[in-house]
Amino acid sequence: MLHFLASAQATCRGASLSQVAFGLATLFVVLIGSTSLVTAQSAERPNLVLILADDLGYGDVSYQGAPDLKTPNLDRLAAEGITFTSMRANCTVCSPTRAAIMTGRYADRVGVPGVIRTSPPDSWGYLSPGVATIADRLGESGYHTAIVGKWHLGLSSPNTPGERGFDLFHGFLGDMMDDYYHHRRGGINFMRHNADPIDPEGHATELFTQWAIDYVDERSKSPEQRFFLYLPYNAPHFPIQPPQDWLERTKARFPDMDEKRALNVAFVEHLDFHLGRFLTHLDSLGFRDNTVVAFTSDNGGSIPHGQRNLPWREGKQSHYDGGLKVPFIIRPLDKSLAGSESDYAGLTFDLTATYLELAGAPQDPDTDAVSLMPILQGKPMPDQPRELYFVRREGNNHYVGGAYHALIRGKWKLMQNDPFSPLELYDLESDPQEKHNVIGKNPRITNQLKRSLRAHIQRGGRVAWQP
């Protein structure tokens, strides 16, 4: 457009009045046409909301059969959308899954094989500065981008949200809060509004919800521009800290319930209530018909903290499916898909590829993610073979800075749960609870999966995970 204006200015020098008038009229038509094109493109593309819970177990939502807690708002979202029963998180812990969602690549291929912590000697990842994020790509496609909630991908430049593509950051930079009311980690305040430290009062779940409501209120004033809101909550990550009145109501319902479980039930129900506040407000602003909403968790629930991943084995930190399978819902624009279900076995970063396709934004040519767009159109996914790869690197005396891995191909799962234990093999088709290690009975498939796993590890090894 600037090139056109410059050419028009040059042409008008020395031209007759009629020629100038004709040129201006042509320019007006071009401008109107360009504006109409932008408006049409905007109208065809949806707003995008991605809500991420922290450590919410597969068995801790009532739409998937939790017997002792109620999540009516997630149940409603599931009834309005598509529930996915076989989706896994990209990692058994926080940062790698978040890095995968942000980039659409396996976490070790963007420098985050383990948790990024506030203490450098115990930090096991560094988000590669040169890799574009979903916020970068959506921003370049005209979206306003915001993160409200937990970042956990870097504490300082160049890895703060504003430097990784987000127009707005309102939330917590660090890994976990020591207290949901004081918002500190090791005595340090990591709450920010963009780059500015803030010290708000209130429970973090309630604050993040209100800030998300404030954000969509603001976006409703500029309906011509689409937005991407990434809403990652800290809850229900430990410390398990529901407001006291929520805990008392839970104990009144279940007077004999174990204290750990009661705390978690109250905490999840508190989160669900505030998710409902946000979703109800989003819809009340008229965004229901042009906004895709996705909800999932970054990994399985923590069993020592009273969380539940049934019917799957174990939980957070484990490569058994209790640590990987997560609640997963997408509410698409097509209301005829409400209440439907998909058993497609993918990973959380498939949301990245899906959202970029919905936005008409260019995909990363090096992406490892797969778009779920066919499912959002009521169609089956292409029948193409796919491997699912998992890695986690960790410190302390149990891991000593080593990494452990898992690989799923079809019905077969090759895995280990620490760097020093032997590999195990499971037939997920006949043994979905992973009770019977059959590695000794299947040498051919074991060797095939080992070769593939080696190649994945080599690819990850090309990327630095320390600054």
Half-sphere exposure of 20 (CA within 13 A, CB side): 8
Which of 322, 357, 376 is the C-terminal boundary of a domain?
376
In a domain, 382, yes or no: no
Report how far residue 386's alpha carbon sits from residue 197's, in angstroms, rounded to the nearest whole number.
Answer: 43
Do both 406 and 321 map to the same domain? no
List Cβ<8 Å contacts ≥24 apart for 34-38.
Answer: 34/1, 38/142
Do both 338 and 410 map to the same domain? no
For 90-143, where are the alpha helices, taking DSSP H only?
Answer: 94-103, 134-140
> What is the band of 43 on the pLDDT scale with cuts at 50, 70, 90?
low
pTM of the model: 0.91
Range of the domain at 436: 387-460
Which of 376, 408, 441 is the C-terminal boundary of a domain?
376
Contact present, 209 and 185 (Cβ < 8 Å): no
Do both 366 and 264 map to the same domain? yes
378-419 confidence digits (pLDDT tens): 999 999 899 999 999 999 999 999 999 999 999 999 999 999
428-463 confidence digits (pLDDT tens): 999 999 999 999 999 999 999 999 999 999 999 999
Do both 307 and 452 map to the same domain? no
pLDDT for 19 equals: 43
pLDDT for 44 equals: 86
Report how far residue 385's alpha carbon sits from residue 329's, in angstroms, rounded to the nearest whole number.
Answer: 23
Type of residue found at 348: T
Do both 131 and 234 map to the same domain? yes
**CATH for 399:** 3.30.1120.10
Contact present, 348 and 103 (Cβ < 8 Å): no
**CATH for 292:** 3.40.720.10
Half-sphere exposure of 184 (CA within 13 A, CB side): 4
Do both 230 and 327 map to the same domain? yes
* Alpha-carbon dihedral angle through residues 345, 351, 355, 357, given to the nearest 10 degrees: -40
